[in-house]
Structure 1
Amino acid sequence: MSLKPWREIARPHKDVLEGTFKQSEFAADITQVANGTATPEYQDAEKFFNRTFITEGMRLLLISVAQRLAGQGGDPVIQLQTAFGGGKTHTMLAVFHLATRKVSTDKLLGVGPLLDKAGIFELPQAQVAVIDGIKLSPSQPRKYGTVQVNTLWGELAWQLLGEEGYAMVAASDIDGTSPGKEVLTKLIAKAAPCVILIDELLAYVRQLELGQNYKGGTFDSNITFIQALTEALKAVPNAILLASLPQSELEVGGTMGQRALNSLEKYFARVETVWKPVATEEAFEIVRRRLFEYPGDRAEVEGISRQFSDFYRKHADKFPVETQSNEYFERMCHSYPIHPEVFDRLYEDWSTLDKFQRTRGVLQYMAIIIHRLWNSENRDALIMPGSIPLEDGNVRDKSIHYLSNGWEPIIEKEVDGPRSIPYDLESHNTLFGSVLAARRTTRTLFLGSAPSNSSQIVRGIDVEHILLGTIQPFQAIGIFEDVLKRLRDRMHYLYADKERFWLDTKPNLRREMESRKNNINERDELIPFLKEKVKGIFGSNHHFAGIHIFTPSIDVPDDYGTGPRLVVLPLNASYSRTEANQAFVAAMDILRHRGEQPRQKQNRLIFFAADFDVVSRLKDQGRIYLAWKSIADDITSGTLNQDLAHLNQAKRNRDGAEQTLKQLVREAYKWLIAPSESFSNGKPILNWEVVAISTTAPNVIQEIESRLKEEEWLIFEWSPIHLRNILKQWYLKNDIDEVSALKVWQDSCHYLYLPRLVNDQVFRNAINHGVASQDYFAFASGKDGDRYLGLSFGHNAISSIDTSSLLIDREAALSYLERIRPVAKPVEQSDDIVSSKPVVTEGTITKPTASDNNLEVTKKTIPAKKQFYASISVDPVKAKMDFAMIMDEVVQQFTSRLGVDVTISIEIQAKSSIGFDDGLQRSIKENCKVLKFSSAEFEED
């Protein structure tokens, strides 16, 4: 679903469309209208009311004026005191046209209902006097034919009754003294019904220096005149005075201006009613009425506004609370085609600027914007803060006209335009560019923060209002949130404090950061730092014998180890599916060599590489973090002289950069690389097998081991059938029936075409499970001639593997057992003894049976043997294995029986032709003491 653009619903006035309006035309001039020289939109009463929105304040004021002129009550004196540009002069013009109308009231849009409300069926025309404090000068009299007018009261009398009126105050006008209340009452009564409009009165009075006498009178005489005038108006029931007094300090002026204002307010306060013509909400309609000839069909306007309102409610957590109410929907309807956020920022933020006039300033500013958007065929649904085309020279000049110096280069570089950062972001990211996300965001930031200053307690605009000023329905909010983060990381004049952002003419610390970032030495600073960050992603609980990060080949051990070794390749050896892979080159060097020596245990290495597409971002982020860290450290130590705000910015950016860095490390290191070999025409071919691990897994090392297990690149459990297949394929063939078990294990560590086992325990477990039955292979602890020692076949009896251990082909083991099976021989029985003896077959160890304890005595009793002695010399190299066999096959025979006490003594003799050194002697004695040897001595001979 799409939104209909505002240009297809509303139509601006012709002068706005064509750009023929003059900025001065938005400044109503009461004197020009009184003289008949104003532009038609102000001079013509009918056109004026057609373009004028009658606010609540103006409605009440016009009712009071009408009642006063009709002699039906009303206020005699009305003071229009509002902020700069608040609509004072415009309100006076409405009164002027109502009093002097040259057409019937039914042709004045909005006037008829007012008169009906006042109960007035026929409104008399009135004489109007316009006193403009800016046009008049205390030192320069005005000439009207032969009459010279010097003072305000002379000007008033002349405008009301001409020469007749002037004659009533002529003496006072010549002397510069105020006429009395009675004279003024007679003058006003004779001119009634009449309206006196005094605009910019303060501008006139503040020119009168104390103690100085001017053609226009003294300060005191003018203040006295105002006092007398207000009192006189109370006595004339069909006469009214409207006077404008400023509210802003800019209009008041200096000390004299403030003194004059205080005096004027004192006398006006006795009789006046203060009207505030324009409320903020009403300004919507004022601007729309003046700028748009046709604001759009009501149904279409409500339809667009409803889509915006529903969008805000659907994403309530992303937008300000006020957008959730039906009142905000009504505001959008009333301000269409301009978004209420534009008015809020102009009236709440920009109106605080001394030079910015509330109504007039908004009119001037929006007229330029609408003209530019119309000509550029803008397709936005509403004119939003993000729509303001600050790249346009006229719009930019009008924007910075109200601001302090220094904003123009900031707008060009960081807010809008073909050379700006937002434009660059959109050019390189189609997702941003498709909705102008970066420029709309910076325009909104400018409108919402440019009027702020460092003295404000809370500066800038929050994220909710930034999104409010940029996003239209059916657009992805995440795009704008992402672009805001990108802008924060690149812009030099953008500040951020928690969730608030603002632009300033003072650069932030980003330029300092970028300078430091570019000076970071990659070899000496960046790589060692990133090495530590990469190291931090691995835990300590794993099956690897070692994890070697950015380690040269000479420092990667070439051993069997307690597990394989994970080699983390450096950043310049990254992996890419499309680019030439430096990862394979670096891995090959470590795989084949240990320094300058050839590597033997090649099948104990697995490689872990970074992603080529992430490496540059990771390095850049590492530099950013180091730069921010150094800035924060220097500000804290006083080396860098900055304020607390900059320190907070540095710390916040440092912490943010660190968090991003952690994420990038995880994103970068994702490729597991395992070398393997296959054979073609009898020649081995090296293969690199690559798989990506999850970058979001909570435990990296567990994820690595899981993928290695899943891909069967690392064997954690090995079935004996697989071991038998390996034996058949590579060892037990061509009439070879046996192979060294230790060689098979070591070969699996050497050769890439063999399975890669986690450790030797996996190998032993496979053997144990295999010899538990007679289905796979047999195991022998050694061989003496053609006899197998410690044969295990059909029962689990393997304890260790050494150089003598053998794995025997299944068929060969069965044949061997058949060959050594004992042959039954006839037993000759004597007349005296019938006995049964165990049969010892050569090459086997035979265990006694139950019948051995039940020898039947017939003719002669044999004394029982109650003690056993034995001694044996063992090979010191094989002592551990031999002692284990002695324990299993001899000692265990005794200890398994009740009532048998076994004593074992170990005698160790060692001789050296050159003698034992002191270190060895000390070590042996300490160990023997710990092992509780009964005696342990070294002798000279």
Structure 2
Amino acid sequence: MIQTVKQACRFNSVIQDYRMSQAIENLADLINDAGDGREFFARNFVTHGMEQLFREGLLRLSGKSDQAVFELNQAMGGGKTHMMIAFGLLARHPHLRAEVLPAELNSRIDFSPARIAAFNGRNNPDHYLWGEIASQLGEAEAIKPYWVNGPRAVDQRQWKAIIGDRPALILLDELPPYLDNASTQVFGQGTLATMVVYSLSNLMSAALELRNCCIVVANLSGSYKAQTRVLGEAIANLQQETRRQAMTLTPVQLAGHEIYEILKKRLIDALPNEQVIADLADEYAQQVRKAEDSGYIIAASLEQIAEQVRETYPFHPSFKHLVALFKENEGFRQTRGLMQFTARLLKSVAGRTTDDVFLIGAQHLDLNDDQVKDEIERIAPTLMPALTRDIADHGNASAELIDAELSGDAAQQVMTLLLASSLSRAVGGRIGLSESEIIEYLAAPQRKPDEFLQTLQRLREQAWYLHREEQRFFVKETENLSRQIERNAKEAPQPKIDQALINRLTGFLQPERRNAWQDVQVLPKLDELKLTGPRTLIVIKPDGKVPPSELQNFFDYQQEKNNLLVLTGQDSHLADAVEDRLRELYAIEQIHKRLKPGDTLYEEARDRMEEAEDRFNKALSAAYNRLYFPASDPVDDRDVLAAVTIDNGLKLGKGDQSAETQIEALLASPRANYKLATDLTGNFNEYFAMAEEYLWPSGKDNRRTPWKDVVSRAKSHPVWPWMPGSSGMDTLKAEALKQGRWRLGEDGYVEKGPFPKDKTTVNISVVGVHSETGETLLNLTPRHAGDSPVVYWATKPEASDRNRLV
């Protein structure tokens, strides 16, 4: 049966309150060391870089190597001082060599304790750097002339005389601070820094000619920011001299297995036997294979996976990959910083209430622990809002809420892992993990890939700082677009949303043909609405706040009852969906306005805006699907608002797909009792008759009425169908007058027929009189005699059809 880490290992108690300062070492420790070095090597792992320095350096001190100068090349906190101390202990204590060195190498080392001079550039001795080195080598008097009356540079001949033929190890650490201070002290035509560089160059040249002398220098590049021009020149000159003569060594290879060995030595007191590790490695390989067989990942061979686990145990193989992402962060002390980071990780594992960790990975960091949280802040302070909001806030973060709902810890593991993969602050640095990498890194006994994928999807919907770019998920200090939309949508003022809905509905419903309505009032206050102008379409939010009874009351108290049309809905849930979608659309529109082409989120915001627009339109179409129009109750002739449903939702397009076209067609159909008269040409007589019945005063003698009263009654009587457009009534009147059905008086009154027949008459006018005969020429104009009038004439006062025909 496989064992958990807590069952199989024993952690060093230092993890409970590890401080980076505990790992900071000083070369003075070597000079003042009273012990024999056994304790030092018992808690330290010998890296490949150390092995190289031990071999070449000790052979040099034995007079058996031509390599005299070594440069240790690594960033801050990378183990340079530590490596110098290790080398110095072996040079000083011959008894340690057999315990630390390979037998073959130890057999070739034949010098007794070497003299050692260790200089730390953060010290500023009165006898200067060269006086300090010579004094530690036991040559204080020999060097005295070079400092007692002021600094004098030491040439190569003098160095050879001071060092002599006995084995001598010179360790130089933290030189840039010393050079910085020296560059401010002017002597003659130069500075003290000039003398320091000259003296050190001569020291290295002298060492090449002294077969038992070895010099180790910590790298000079990139380790000191506050460089003046003088300091920069001094460092460059010294660096050039060093590189010309030195072998460059790297104390710790952070990308390989060495860092794991160092962590184990320092932080773990006891590890299980090889069989326990092998069993666990095989189980992990099987878990990864299952994930691969299910199509979640493409992994290495079982043998490779098992071998990686055996090398890195009790750490997960992914740990070194994640560390490599942020180890180059500015200010991160590589070995010491990683030691503290790992101590926090082990403390998190030790403190877990559930004993379920088989391999230690970054996902096991307890981000609710103050020390762990401080560690993340030290590495990537800008990610702290993301940590608190999305990952760990004592049960209130997004991942914690998801885990509480699902009774697990998958969401926190996913987000913590992604946080660790996002700690790099280097420009252009790689951050984040792909979905398959997430599954591979989290694969473990008793866990299934599905639970991590499920929570990843939930996190994409709820986490504010989880981003995805080029198939990689990562945590970023800026809110992701979804969360910006969510926050802005929630915080959008209600008046802004109401006005946005008014604007959009007004745009969709603004009439072009104006047949059914001429004005639009969206979401008006009913008690302030006056229906005294053109026919108005009123839009009321279908949210239950305006029930049919209240709408009916509003209708009952209107004088011009036949002058309105109501668009609303019947489902308050659909109305809520409209507001939700509108808030989303409003939020993303505001975000998109702030972005410029080329911005990271510009195209995504544009696409999201199109999607949000489509979702809003669909919600709007589904919610606003009912019309109320004025009608007469067929049972008791009451004036009512009749309802008709818009099938398949309200259309929001243009032309034939517009809401106006759709509503006009519905109002002109039998379903709306032909409320809208779209074609007057073939139905004039029908509408003449209806007008004479409903729009004239009752009573047989009330044949004349002001036209304005006819128009007013048309707006007031729901039984009257709507004439098309604002001039529909005028069109009807013009045709009736043309046909003689109605007559318009000079006083503006319109009289309806039928009218009594007019008396037939003939208008007679004299055209002329013949002067000689006295005959008179007449012009006869028949009136009211039909299309083919007939006129008879006689010389007597009365004429009849028996008289002569004109």
2:464–2:480: 8 Å Cα contact kept in structure 1?
yes
User: Are 2:606 and 1:651 aligned?
Assistant: yes
Q: Distance in 2 between matches of 1:156 and 1:649?
A: 64
Residue aligned with 1:202, SS:
helix
Residue in structure 1 matching 2:350, options 345, 349, 374: 374
1:82–1:246: 8 Å Cα contact kept in structure 2?
no
Residue aligned with 2:123, SS:
coil
Alpha-carbon shift at residue 474 of structure 1 (Å) = 4.3
Q: Percent same amino acid among aligned pairs?
A: 20
The amino acid that maps onto 2:250 is K
Counterparts in 2 of 1:192-231, with a 5 A limit? 192-209=166-183, 212-213=186-187, 218-231=192-205
Alignment-derived partner of residue 45 in structure 1: 37
Residue in structure 2 matching 1:426, options 382, 396, 402: 402
Residue aligned with 1:99, SS:
helix
User: Are 2:159 and 1:176 aligned?
Assistant: no
When the two structures are superposed, what TM-score results if normalisation uses the length of structure 1? 0.54
Residue in structure 1 matching 2:451, options 468, 479, 490: 479
**CA deviation string 1:271-292 (max 9, x = no partner):** 2111112212122222222211
Alignment-derived partner of residue 417 in structure 2: 444
**CA deviation string 1:834-884 (max 9, x = no partner):** xxxxxxxxxxxxxxxxxxxxxxxxxxxxxxxxxxxxxxxxxxxxxxxxxxx
The amino acid that maps onto 2:330 is D
Residue aligned with 2:181, SS:
coil
The amino acid that maps onto 1:283 is I
Alignment-derived partner of residue 704 in structure 1: none
Residue in structure 1 matching 2:240, options 266, 287, 305: 266
Alignment-derived partner of residue 24 in structure 1: 21
Alignment-derived partner of residue 185 in structure 1: 160
Residue aligned with 1:277, SS:
coil
Alignment-derived partner of residue 10 in structure 1: 9
Alpha-carbon shift at residue 329 of structure 1 (Å) = 4.0
Residue in structure 1 matching 2:32, options 32, 35, 50: 35
Residue in structure 2 matching 1:342, options 285, 296, 319: 319
Counterparts in 2 of 1:628-643, with a 5 A limit? 628=588, 631-632=591-592, 634-635=593-594
Alpha-carbon shift at residue 78 of structure 1 (Å) = 0.8
Alpha-carbon shift at residue 95 of structure 1 (Å) = 0.3
Query: Structure 1 residues 211, 151: closer, same or farther in 2, change over 3 A?
Result: closer
The amino acid that maps onto 2:62 is A
1:157–1:166: 8 Å Cα contact kept in structure 2?
yes
**CA deviation string 1:740-788 (max 9, x = no partner):** xxxxxxxxxxxxxxxxxxxxxxxxxxxxxxxxxxxxxxxxxxxxxxxxx
Alignment-derived partner of residue 114 in structure 2: 127
Q: Distance in 2 between matches of 1:212 and 1:54?
A: 44
**CA deviation string 1:563-584 (max 9, x = no partner):** xxxxxxx9989xxxxxxxxxxx
Q: Distance in 2 between matches of 1:247 and 1:295?
A: 39
Residue in structure 1 matching 2:134, options 157, 175, 188: 157
The amino acid that maps onto 1:644 is D
Query: Structure 1 residues 459, 383: closer, same or farther in 2, change over 3 A?
Result: closer
Residue aligned with 1:242, SS:
strand
Q: Distance in 1 between matches of 2:591 and 2:263?
A: 48
1:154–1:166: 8 Å Cα contact kept in structure 2?
yes
1:91–1:277: 8 Å Cα contact kept in structure 2?
yes
Q: Distance in 1 between matches of 2:48 and 2:60?
A: 18
1:412–1:419: 8 Å Cα contact kept in structure 2?
no
2:410–2:451: 8 Å Cα contact kept in structure 1?
no
**CA deviation string 1:872-909 (max 9, x = no partner):** xxxxxxxxxxxxxxxxxxxxxxxxxxxxxxxxxxxxxx
When the two structures are superposed, what TM-score results if normalisation uses the length of structure 2? 0.62
**CA deviation string 1:501-534 (max 9, x = no partner):** 333334445345423345468888789999xxxx
1:126–1:194: 8 Å Cα contact kept in structure 2?
no
Q: Distance in 1 between matches of 2:456 and 2:616?
A: 18
Alignment-derived partner of residue 464 in structure 2: 492
Residue aligned with 2:187, SS:
coil
Q: Distance in 2 between matches of 1:233 and 1:58?
A: 21
Q: Mean Cα displacement is larger for which, 313-322 or 233-242? A: 313-322
Residue aligned with 2:210, SS:
coil
User: Are 2:36 and 1:62 aligned?
Assistant: no
2:349–2:357: 8 Å Cα contact kept in structure 1?
no
Query: Structure 1 residues 210, 519: closer, same or farther in 2, change over 3 A?
Result: closer
Query: Structure 1 residues 471, 314: closer, same or farther in 2, change over 3 A?
Result: closer
Alignment-derived partner of residue 241 in structure 1: 215
2:391–2:400: 8 Å Cα contact kept in structure 1?
no
Alpha-carbon shift at residue 218 of structure 1 (Å) = 1.4
Q: Distance in 2 between matches of 1:652 and 1:130?
A: 68
Q: Distance in 1 between matches of 2:50 and 2:299?
A: 28
Q: Distance in 2 between matches of 1:119 and 1:408?
A: 52
**CA deviation string 1:535-564 (max 9, x = no partner):** xxxxxxxxxxxxxxxxxxxxxxxxxxxxxx
Q: Distance in 1 between matches of 2:451 and 2:611?
A: 19
Q: Distance in 1 between matches of 2:408 and 2:36?
A: 47
Aligned pair count reads 585
Residue in structure 1 matching 2:266, options 277, 280, 290: 290
Residue aligned with 2:421, SS:
helix
Alpha-carbon shift at residue 655 of structure 1 (Å) = 6.4
1:126–1:195: 8 Å Cα contact kept in structure 2?
no
Q: Distance in 1 between matches of 2:288 and 2:13?
A: 34
Query: Structure 1 residues 627, 220: closer, same or farther in 2, change over 3 A?
Result: closer
Counterparts in 2 of 1:368-767, with a 5 A limit? 368-377=344-353, 379-404=356-381, 406-418=382-394, 420-426=396-402, 430-431=405-406, 433-437=407-411, 439-452=412-425, 456=428, 460-509=432-481, 510-511=483-484, 513-517=486-490, 518-519=492-493, 620=580, 623-624=583-584, 627-628=587-588, 631-632=591-592, 634-635=593-594, 644-651=599-606, 653-654=608-609
The amino acid that maps onto 1:73 is S
The amino acid that maps onto 1:442 is M
Q: Distance in 1 between matches of 2:616 and 2:498?
A: 18
1:80–1:88: 8 Å Cα contact kept in structure 2?
yes
Query: Structure 1 residues 491, 58: closer, same or farther in 2, change over 3 A?
Result: same
Alpha-carbon shift at residue 229 of structure 1 (Å) = 1.0
Residue aligned with 2:588, SS:
helix
Structure 1 unaligned residues grouped into runs of 5+: 38-42, 142-149, 531-569, 574-585, 590-594, 597-608, 670-699, 702-915, 920-938
The amino acid that maps onto 1:238 is N
Residue aligned with 1:75, SS:
coil
Query: Structure 1 residues 659, 347: closer, same or farther in 2, change over 3 A?
Result: farther
Alpha-carbon shift at residue 649 of structure 1 (Å) = 4.0
RMSD, matched Cα: 4.8
1:79–1:242: 8 Å Cα contact kept in structure 2?
yes
Residue aligned with 2:248, SS:
strand
Residue in structure 1 matching 2:79, options 71, 82, 87: 87
Alpha-carbon shift at residue 98 of structure 1 (Å) = 0.9
Q: Distance in 1 between matches of 2:606 and 2:453?
A: 22
Residue aligned with 2:72, SS:
strand
Alpha-carbon shift at residue 121 of structure 1 (Å) = 5.4
**CA deviation string 1:566-613 (max 9, x = no partner):** xxxx9989xxxxxxxxxxxx9x99xxxxx99xxxxxxxxxxxx9999x
Q: Distance in 2 between matches of 1:196 and 1:119?
A: 21
Q: Distance in 2 between matches of 1:489 and 1:8?
A: 38
Query: Structure 1 residues 13, 239: closer, same or farther in 2, change over 3 A?
Result: same
Alpha-carbon shift at residue 93 of structure 1 (Å) = 1.6
Residue aligned with 1:32, SS:
helix
